Amino acid sequence: ETGVTQTPRHLVMGMTNKKSLKCEQHLGHNAMYWYKQSAKKPLELMFVYSLEERVENNSVPSRFSPECPNSSHLFLHLHTLQPEDSALYLCASSQNSGAGELFFGEGSRLTVL
Amino acid sequence: GIQVEQSPPDLILQEGANSTLRCNFSDSVNNLQWFHQNPWGQLINLFYIPSGTKQNGRLSATTVATERYSLLYISSSQTTDSGVYFCAVEGGSGGSNYKLTFGKGTLLTVNP
């Protein structure tokens, strides 16, 4: 138990569906992150939020839309995805967005048909 | 940006054996972390170690920042140690303060 919870753990969706991934952290941290892990690739940073403000958007397609309503919750809204978007999506948090320990959730494994 | 290389890419051990995993990086860092990804996908934070040596049970890590490498030692390995070990670094000239760059990982298999 790392203090970061992701739901759902598994998601299968069609290319025309709209779905959302949810992340919640119970660590009192101020920064939250979305990472993407595809097969045989290093983890890729997608988005960073610090105190609910987006500070990084790492050239992610607009079909991925993040939302951070408060410092404990982070969403990733998915719309019109492609099969190549199938991957493990990992949420993480840290005390601040500067250097410091990163704590990951268990991941949401997404399959796009 | 900063480059991170991990070796070996794959490692197979018998239970009880010791091992050393290496992480080389191409620039100065202000953050280095080791993670273990279990077979279910979760990344567990092992060490936050931008410099120096730390120990936690059967695991220990050493980072020599001036020589740009870090080592993760696993002693008396167990089958539950199986998974992928990632090194991630942050810093270097031109890098973002909050952007960890991950290596490709070392896949460790511990056989009973």
Question: For B32-73, what is each residue's pLDDT tens digit?
Answer: 999 999 888 889 999 999 999 999 999 999 999 999 999 999
Q: Is 50 exceeded by the pLDDT of residue B29?
A: yes
Decide: B46 and B105 in contact? Cβ < 8 Å: no
* Least confident span in A37-41, B19-23, B53-57: A37-41
Q: What percent of chain B has pLDDT over 70?
A: 94
Transcribe B17-75 into DSSP letters. Answer: --EEEEEEESS--SEEEEEEE-TTS-EEEEEE-SSEEEEETTEEEEEEGGGTEEEEEE-
Distances in Å between the Cα of B72 and the Cα atoms of A83, A105, B17, B59 are: 36, 23, 14, 7
pLDDT digits (tens, 9 = 90+) for A73-108: 999 999 999 999 999 999 999 987 765 788 999 999
CA dihedral in degrees (A83, B98, B83, B66; nearest 10)? 140
Specify the amino acid at residue A87: A
DSSP state of B13: E
Contacts of B33 in chain A (CB under 8 A): 101-102
Q: Does residue B81 have a pLDDT over 50?
A: yes
- Tokens 């051990």 found at: B13
Cβ atoms B83, B59 nearer than 8 A: no
Nearest CA in chain B to A102: B45
3-state class (DSSP) for residue A31: strand
Which pLDDT value is given to residue A97?
72
A45, A39 contact by CB (below 8 A): no
Q: Do B50 and A99 count as a contact with CB atoms less than 8 A apart?
A: yes
Residue B98 pLDDT greater than 70, yes or no? no
Residue B95 has pLDDT above 50, yes or no: no
Instruction: Give percent of chain A with pLDDT exceeding 90.
Output: 70
Closest-CA distance of chain B to residue A34, Å? 11
User: Does A36 have pLDDT greater than 90?
Assistant: yes
Report the 10 Å Cβ neighbour count for A86. 17
Residues of B in Cβ contact (< 8 Å) with A89:
none
Overall average pLDDT of the A63-75 stretch: 95
Q: What's chain A's average pLDDT? A: 91
